[in-house]
Amino acid sequence: MTIDCKNMNQSAAFSAIPFFCLLFLVSFGNSQLDYKYYDATCPNLAKIVRYGVWSAIANETRLAASLLRLHFHDCFVNGCEGSILLDASSNFTGEKNAFPNRNSARGFEVIDAIKDNVEKACPSIVSCTDILTLASRDAVFLAGGPFWPVPLGRRDGLTATETAANTNLPSPFEPLENITAKFISKGLDVKDVVVLSGAHTIGFAQCSTFKQRLFNFDGAGNPDPILDASLLGSLRNMCPNQDDSDSKLAPLDAATSSKFDSSYFNSLVNNSGLLQSDQALMSDNKTAALVSLYSKLPFLFSKDFGKSMVKMSNIGILTGQNGEIRKNCRLVN
């Protein structure tokens, strides 16, 4: 049975159902969101976003990964409210310059182009953060991954915080317990850590994010002993032991770097995770058991990825009269 708590008419408001709905609304902070939120006010939204993501990926496959990561970096810093999209201004330094984003976060032009088209069709109706949420879902789907329905109605924030981006986003150099703690502080759990790490089935990382594993992991000139020997050899070729290799790129999931599948988990099982933080999922019994499960059951990963993404997309959202609908995703109105 499903009851639509948001689209009830007046007479229903005097029946027993709304009391149930009241409890429902109180118990879930995200219940202001609605799958049909823009159906009346921007009926072509889904098509406009889908086309924008499709054309971006048609030109450059990697943008699917970049958009997915952008949404993650939006949601983990003061909630999914589009703060990562804001350029620096006189009121704040912005998150684009924070360590995890600088020379790394990409895909902003794709969101700008989609926003331009959305503004032409329905001006000042759709938030930038909802566009980014939809775009990341479409990016996964167009890269061969699962599809999941996205509840909408988030509003855009009025500020951005460089220090929050530096402290809230996980680093590939910190231990699994610290990464897990960051997820838990956002209302996610250990399972979400494993499932959402599966996003690393697509996209690339710069040598600077894993080079410490290749040459002098222990301070005595040895590589990370866990790293698969043949992968070590190819990574040393891609990332020679000199500073000018820092920004070179390696695929996060070498087996199928542009396909959203579950081979990331196979790689972890055979010691071929790229980032130290990826491989660390095998160092804890609980996360290792989940990795092993997803490597064996790709369908379960697809299903759980959609569920965890919806949870992530609901972190710290603004609704009602909070925030605004930005006209330009880079600027507060």
Ligand X SMILES: *[C@@H]1O[C@H](CO)[C@@H](O)[C@H](O)[C@H]1NC(C)=O
Q: Which residues are annotated as part of the binding site for heme b? A: 200
Choice between 104 and 212, CB closer to ligand HEM: 104
Alpha helices in the chain, H assignment, sequence order: 17-27, 45-59, 63-75, 108-121, 128-142, 162-168, 176-185, 190-197, 229-238, 263-269, 276-279, 285-296, 298-312
- Selection from ligand HEM, ligand X, none that 172 binds (CB < 5 to 8 A by kind) is ligand HEM
Asked if residue 272 lies in contact with residue 112, where contact means CB atoms within 8 angstroms, the answer is: no
Signed CA dihedral, 217, 222, 224, 225: sign only:
negative
- Selection from ligand HEM, ligand X, none that 66 binds (CB < 5 to 8 A by kind) is ligand HEM
- Selection from ligand X, ligand HEM, none that 132 binds (CB < 5 to 8 A by kind) is none
| Spatial CB neighbours of 189, under 8 Å, sequence gap ≥ 6 | 183
Q: Which two tokens stand for residue 33?
A: 């969101």
Minimum distance of ligand X from residue 118's CB (angstroms):
17
Mask: binding to ligand HEM, 95-134, rule CB under 6 A, as x and -?
---------x-x----------------------------
301 binds ligand HEM (CB under 6 A): no
75 binds ligand HEM (CB under 6 A): no
Instruction: For the chain, state the CA radius of gyration.
Output: 21
Q: Which of 21, 118, 196, 290 binds ligand HEM (CB under 6 A)?
A: 196
**Shortest CA distance to 136 belongs to which of 105, 166, 99?**
105
Does the annotation count 73 as an active-site position? yes
CA dist., res. 202 & res. 168, Å (int): 23
- Selection from ligand HEM, ligand X, none that 255 binds (CB < 5 to 8 A by kind) is ligand X
197 binds ligand HEM (CB under 6 A): yes
Q: For the chain, how long is the longest CA-to-CA vector? A: 75
Spot the catalytic one: 73, 155, 213, 311.
73
- Selection from ligand HEM, ligand X, none that 80 binds (CB < 5 to 8 A by kind) is none
Count the residues of the shown chain that bind ligand HEM, applying the rule CB under 6 A.
Answer: 26
The DSSP symbol for 258 reads T
Q: Which two tokens stand for residue 118?
A: 């959305």
Choice between 37 and 183, CB closer to ligand HEM: 183
Q: Reduced to 3 states, what is the DSSP secondary structure of residue 249?
A: strand
CA dist., res. 96 & res. 72, Å (int): 14
186 binds ligand HEM (CB under 6 A): no
**Shortest CA distance to 264 belongs to which of 137, 103, 99, 144?**
144
Q: Reduced to 3 states, what is the DSSP secondary structure of residue 34?
A: strand
Phi and psi angles of residue 59, each rounded to the nearest 5 degrees, phi first: -80, -40
> Looking at 20-28, 141-149, 202-210, 320-328, which segment touches ligand HEM (CB under 6 A)?
202-210
Minimum distance of ligand HEM from residue 290's CB (angstroms):
13
Minimum distance of ligand X from residue 243's CB (angstroms):
22
Q: Which of 42, 69, 98, 280 binds ligand HEM (CB under 6 A)?
A: 69
Binding interface with ligand HEM (CB under 6 A): 62, 65-66, 68-69, 72, 104, 106, 170-172, 179, 193, 196-197, 199-200, 202-206, 209, 252, 275, 277
- Looking at the annotation, which residues are catalytic? 73
